[in-house]
Amino acid sequence: MDCAESQENIDLVTLTPGEKFHPDPTDFTLIVDEYEIRVHKEILKSSSDYFKAMFSSGMQENEKASICLKLVDSEAFLVIVQGFYSGVLDLNENNVFEITEAAHLLLLNSTLFSQCSDFLRLMINDESCFDVMYFCDSINLADVYTDARRYCLASFSHLRHSQSFLKLTQEQMFDYLSDKHLVVNEEIQVFEAIKKWLMKCKTTKQEISVEVVRKLVASSVCLADTYRDLDLVTNMILNETEQCKIEEVVDVLGRRERHEDVFLFWSLLNTTTADGLVDIVRLSQDSGQGVKVGSMTDVVESPGYDLGSAFCVQECCVYLSGGGPSFGKVNWIRQLYKYDLSKQVSQWQSIGELYETRRHHAMMAVGSKLYIFGGFGKFRLKNLKLDCFDIISGTWEALPVAPTHEIKPAATADQHRIYYMDRAHNVHCFDIAIRQWSTLTPSGLSCVHLPVAIFASQQKPGVLLAVLDGPEMLHVVSVCVKTDGTKQECEVQHKTELEKTGKYEGSVMANHKLLIFEGSDVDRTKSGEFVDFDPITQVVTFCTESKTVVGTSETNIKKALAVMSVPYLPPAFPTGSLRPEPSPHGKI
């Protein structure tokens, strides 16, 4: 459309956004909706590849004194053209999507466009993460899309309660819940999330057919037997009048395939020259080789070798509490720290302060709370207390004391219970719902083997995998805790003996495999280089399904005090998740 035609019967508002920044007379006019914007061609060309191409030789716009710009909305463009001169885009949560889309169409230079990207990253939170994710998907903004998608996948357990989740469209629900990297603590959470979303749809008069619900269940809920249970679970979700018992739902749910990374904290690589355990390392589970991905110096500037800190994992966040770099001295780590691995680049963040100092204790994460027990405090006083820290409110609560005192307790969390095994092989269980401890004794375990680790096996609730360390053998023991009302039983289901080739230096469960780190005792009486720790030499991989050793590999990791498995999230996600694929005939 010719500018003269567009101005007919319209009183244009004349603006000169570069008046304060550029002393030369303007040489071009842009007409956008009701605005006549007088600008400088050179500023447009240097700020936007769209205008640079427009004013290149051979383009008819290069010969004109004005053009009508229909590509973008006037409100967004006014912010952008002001940014051409000031170098700053005036962004807020109400205009950022519109301005970013306009900036994308106008091919703004990296200096300006990065302001949009940076602002969108700041909006990756519980209220806006889905909006950011699907907006960035629509304009192919791949780097911010990846950051938002990693956050959404990692935060499912609490996002499912948010209004932003309930506002997802049908297509977005399929895309989100069917992602194989969705971090799910308990499979029933997916069932409950779909049911809650459907109830919200009905209150807003959205019609969701039975077939759509059936497909959603098939694509996103892991069932014990899909052929047998798909219609049953679909009906459970659709039935509003009948309340489903959790036990009935759990019985038909299957085991979700796990995708986990292994990270080592307070660690040291062969290639690192440091007087202390300074590295954060990602382990290749196939080769046993580690790659440094971060540092512990944000927690302690000069780490030692016997820190005594406790670690635990909740979703993609690793938490650290207590310990310190100088054993026996007043040099404690008093802050609680979080390391968020859903972020591409993470740093240690303080989230609170310990209720009281501790070393060589245990810490478990359940929901939004951290549970700390065992170990000792100042003057090596034994600590039987169970302290609970609420991550959201930042408050502490004292709970019933532990039945026994343990140094470096072999502990784990499963569902809504905390377990630890004492030196006599009693299994102690703290039920968070009723706030009570119970003690069970599995039979058939040798007292010469000390419990050094215990894991929730992920097979089904109450099935635990314990690692017992003896003089010449390691025992990997499957223990089942059965709860029927108020009655509890504990029995050993299976026990595997593994011959030790070195000193036990730690273990971790990841991807249905138990990785065991073995090392060698250092003879410190011999002359030569002083080593203040017993070095790791190899990683043994034990398959929990076949109950056999499936691999042994040498490692470049010299030492690690904490080995944690964390849900795996890809480093990049391609955009276009909601765009329909072209048909074989080229039509959509």
Do 399 and 532 lie in one domain? The reply is yes
Do 280 and 314 lie in one domain? The reply is yes
Task: Tell me, yes or no, whether 574 lies in a domain.
Answer: no
Do 248 and 264 lie in one domain? The reply is no
| 209 CB-near residues (< 8 Å, 6+ apart) | none
Tell me which DSSP letter residue 578 carries.
T
Task: Tell me, yes or no, whether 128 lies in a domain.
Answer: no
CA atoms of 327 and 306, how far apart (whole Å): 7
CATH number at residue 73: 3.30.710.10
Do 264 and 248 lie in one domain? The reply is no
Residue 242: predicted pLDDT? 59
Task: Tell me, yes or no, whether 576 lies in a domain.
Answer: no
Q: Are 283 and 260 in contact (CB under 8 A)?
A: no
Half-sphere CA count of 503, side-chain side, radius 13 A: 10
Rounded alpha-carbon distances, angstroms, from residue 271 to 265, 278, 557: 16, 12, 9
CATH number at residue 533: 2.120.10.80
CA atoms of 292 and 181, how far apart (whole Å): 23
pTM comes to: 0.88
| Dihedral (CA of 576, 579, 582, 587) sign | negative
Do 300 and 238 lie in one domain? The reply is no
CA atoms of 343 and 353, how far apart (whole Å): 23
Task: Tell me, yes or no, whether 577 lies in a domain.
Answer: no
- Residue 453 phi/psi, 5-degree rounding, is -160, 150
In DSSP terms, 497 is beta-bridged to: 475
Do 388 and 520 lie in one domain? The reply is yes
Last residue of a domain, one of 122, 141, 176: 122
Last residue of a domain, one of 252, 272, 302: 252
Do 310 and 381 lie in one domain? The reply is yes
Task: Tell me, yes or no, whether 406 lies in a domain.
Answer: yes
Last residue of a domain, one of 204, 219, 252: 252
Spell out the alpha helix ranges (H) of 10-92. Answer: 41-47, 49-54, 74-86
Residue 550: predicted pLDDT? 93
Task: Tell me, yes or no, whether 588 lies in a domain.
Answer: no
Task: Tell me, yes or no, whether 141 lies in a domain.
Answer: no
Domain tally, the chain: 3
Task: Tell me, yes or no, whether 573 lies in a domain.
Answer: no
| 430 CB-near residues (< 8 Å, 6+ apart) | 371, 386, 399, 400, 402, 417, 418, 419, 436, 437
Rounded alpha-carbon distances, angstroms, from residue 353 to 238, 332, 338, 360, 534: 45, 11, 12, 17, 32
Residue 445: predicted pLDDT? 75
Do 514 and 421 lie in one domain? The reply is yes
| Sequential pLDDT tens for the chain (588 residues) | 445 454 555 678 888 887 788 888 888 899 998 899 999 999 999 999 999 998 886 666 667 888 898 888 999 999 999 999 999 999 999 999 999 999 999 999 999 999 999 999 999 999 999 999 999 999 999 999 999 999 999 999 999 999 999 999 999 999 999 999 999 988 899 999 999 999 999 888 888 899 999 999 999 999 988 888 999 999 988 886 656 677 778 888 888 888 999 999 999 999 998 889 999 999 999 999 999 999 999 999 889 888 999 999 999 999 999 999 875 566 899 999 999 999 988 899 999 999 899 999 999 999 899 999 999 988 888 999 999 999 999 999 999 999 999 999 999 998 889 999 999 999 999 999 999 999 998 877 766 789 999 999 876 778 899 999 988 899 999 998 887 766 778 888 889 999 988 899 999 999 889 999 999 876 656 655 556 778 999 999 999 889 999 999 999 999 999 999 999 999 999 998 776 554 444 332
Do 176 and 315 lie in one domain? The reply is no
CA atoms of 133 and 324, how far apart (whole Å): 40
Do 106 and 240 lie in one domain? The reply is no
Q: In terms of residue numbers, what domain contains 108?
A: 3-122
Among residues 509, 406, 513, 512, the alpha carbon closest in space to that of 455 is found at 509
Instruction: Give 68: exposed, middle or buried? Use CB within 10 Å, 0-12, 13-18, 19+.
Output: middle
Do 372 and 495 lie in one domain? The reply is yes
Do 463 and 338 lie in one domain? The reply is yes
Cα 224 versus chain centre, distance: 26
